[in-house]
Amino acid sequence: MTKTPEIREFVVAENQDNLRLDNFLVQACGDVTRSRIHTDMESAQVLVDGKPRPKGFRLKPGQAVQYQPTILAEMSAEPQDIPLDIIYQDEHIAVVNKPVGMVVHPAVGHPDGTLVNGLLHHFRDLKEVGEDPLRPGIVHRLDRDTSGLLAVALTAEAHRHMADQLHEHSMGRTYIALNWGRWPEDKGTLTGDIGRHPRFRQKMAVVESGGRSATTHFEVVEDFGFVQLCRVELETGRTHQIRVHFAFKGHPIVGDSMYGEDKRARGIHNLDRRQADQMVRDTRRQLLHAAELRLIHPATGEEMTFTAPLPADMEHVLRGLRAED
């Protein structure tokens, strides 16, 4: 039976006056990529007041937008021979040091080449672990451009055990982050419910209602005046939690293209142009690294701690900052 594409209907709000059509749809459809929207526009699958319009068309309040996204073929996760930095493994669990730029599991826009594809090649029985066929063995995630440690369950029992640890906050995760500006105190706790951004659906935000509680602890370990290196402990594990909490408090992670607003941050934190330009040249992603992972082994009950050194790009930035002192 052929599946009929859904038709999504929207009305342009007053605060969306003069917004480009493609930007409007990216905001309105958090599950559809910009490139897919552009492709669908070329096939007249986007209408404004009943007429096809180009991606740069400027909208006016009250206009009706109809969009019929192309139905994508159902995705699957298949084994691929991808080199992985597996720092620990036994018959129950594995711990991987994920590099920058690697997506954890297949999704729209990233159907393969992910960590899961590599794991399925290394661990042939992994496909049966967990309930989601696109995320076998995965109990927690890292953003594509966040590097560092990630635990993988290799059995159904290990998966349940580690999922419980996450739920009970007994799995410890420590990150190293470089943020813009100076915190008023050397350590603190950040709170605020996190949910989908009310306007930009591809982003998360601290929200007043409809979010999930989130707690982030930080401690400044090195102060460079206009940026600080922090040790960050997650008490909860919401999507983009550290990035959202730090940005909400006015200290976004350096290099974070989604939440960082680097130009604004550089302006309000008294950077001279030479320092700011050098920071931008040295930064290709959010400078956030999952440096330490603590868990209870699901079979033995042993408390285990794993560490991963800072990757080369973060070390390079820090060497430059230290040379300025």
Distance CA 315, CA 322 (A): 10
User: Catalytic: which of 22, 40, 143, 282?
Assistant: 143
Distance CA 282, CA 141 (A): 26
Distance CA 230, CA 178 (A): 6
Backbone torsions φ then ψ of 324, nearest 5 degrees: -75, -25
Per DSSP, the residues of 93-123 read EEEEEEPTT--SS-BTTB-SSSHHHHHHHH-
Is 247 buried (19+), middle (13-18) or exposed (0-12) by CB count in 10 A?
A: buried
Distance CA 253, CA 179 (A): 4
Annotated catalytic, 143?
Answer: yes
Kindly state the tokens that stand for 311. Answer: 């990757």
Is 121 buried (19+), middle (13-18) or exposed (0-12) by CB count in 10 A?
A: middle
Strands in 154-287 per DSSP E: 172-180, 187-191, 194-196, 204-206, 215-223, 227-234
Contact 191, 20 (CB under 8 A): no
**Residues designated catalytic:** 143
